[in-house]
Amino acid sequence: MVPGPRLYRHGVALLATVALASCATVPEPRAKQGFAAARAAMVGRIRRTARREYPKLAATPAFRNALRAVGGVRRELFMPESDRAQAYEDTPLPIGYGQTISDAYIVTVMTAALNLPPHAHVLEVGTGSGYQAAVLSGLAGTVHSIEIVAPLADRAKTLLASLGMTNVTVRAGDGFLGWPEAAPYDGVIVTAGAAEIPPPLIAQLKPGGTLVMPIGPEWPLEQLLVVRKAADGTLDRCSMGPVMFVPLTGRGERVRNPAEPDNRATAACF
């Protein structure tokens, strides 16, 4: 079974959210305790939801490792103080510049779908708040992350460094082009939708590597695709179901073309 459409990182709110009181008014030790409990509850919800929606994936070591990494990252640090009281709700939240931080469920699922080998070398396109990069930091040997909005890239770089995540390198740039000087990668994860996978990202993926990205001819028809590159360079793709991400910008910006394939017919991954 695959989930219904969700709105993830770089998303636009579909429903009005009720503003909650900022945790900035809560004494720090008490706030940390509250966040730790909320994070543990969130991990439990993610586990239960994945067992229902992706039972085969949820039974894999890759999923257990991804969930453990998510449980080890303080999500509240990756959003404005005014929104931190909502940090562990099952929803994307704004981080400025018209962008959002994904809900932790999709971060877990996408990370698990990468099925990273030990000491993996990973490329992330769409740093945003830095939350996905922080999760990858706990699983990969090295992470290179690109963000097209320069102030977000700078903010994420500073935050990740302050948290001691020295295996993550962030830069501002157009993710369509990838990061060729650091290639090849064991895994590539893209957190914005496009009509097709940027060719440079496929070229920079190692044989045997995996790319995870939302792809579709238009926003309402996106599927979260998992693409594996065989030793001979051929690609095998499957779908994790419908999603809705804000479009990739820069050179990868989507232009509606009715001739582009509808990925809804792609075989399910799990």
Return phi, psi of residue 86, to 5°.
Answer: -100, 10
pLDDT higher than 50, residue 254 = yes
Name the token pair of 142. Answer: 């090295």
pLDDT tens column, 91-106: 888 898 888 898 999 9
Q: Which of 22, 102, 145, 162 is catalytic?
A: 102
pLDDT at 3: 43
pLDDT category at 264 given cuts 50, 70, 90 is: low
DSSP, res 42: H
Q: Would you call 102 a catalytic residue per the annotation? A: yes
Closest CA to 142 of 101, 182, 198, 202: 182
| Res. 251 pLDDT band, cuts 50 70 90 | confident
Tell me: the pLDDT tens digits for 145-160? 999 999 999 999 999 9
pLDDT of residue 178: 97
pLDDT digits (tens, 9 = 90+) for 38-95: 999 999 999 999 999 999 999 999 999 999 999 999 999 999 999 999 999 998 888 9
Give pLDDT, residue 31.
Answer: 63
Region class of 126: left (phi > 0), else alpha (psi between -120 and 50), else beta: left
Query: CA 165 to CA 138: how far, in whole Å?
Result: 8
In sequence order, the β-bridge partners of residue 168 are 143
Structural domains in the chain, CATH included, are: 32-243 (3.40.50.150)
- Residue 21's Cβ-count burial label (10 Å; 0-12, 13-18, 19+) is exposed
**Best CA proximity match to 205, nearest among 183, 226, 189:** 183
pLDDT tens digits for range 154-213: 999 999 999 999 999 999 999 999 999 999 999 999 999 899 999 999 999 999 999 999
- For 153-167, the DSSP string reads HHHHHHHHHHTT-TT
* pTM (predicted TM-score): 0.86
CB-based burial, 81-97: b 16+ in 10 Å, e otherwise: eebbbbbbbebbbbbee
When comparing pLDDT for 262 and 43, which is higher? 43
> What is the pLDDT averaged over residues 2-11?
42
Q: What is the pLDDT of residue 88?
A: 95
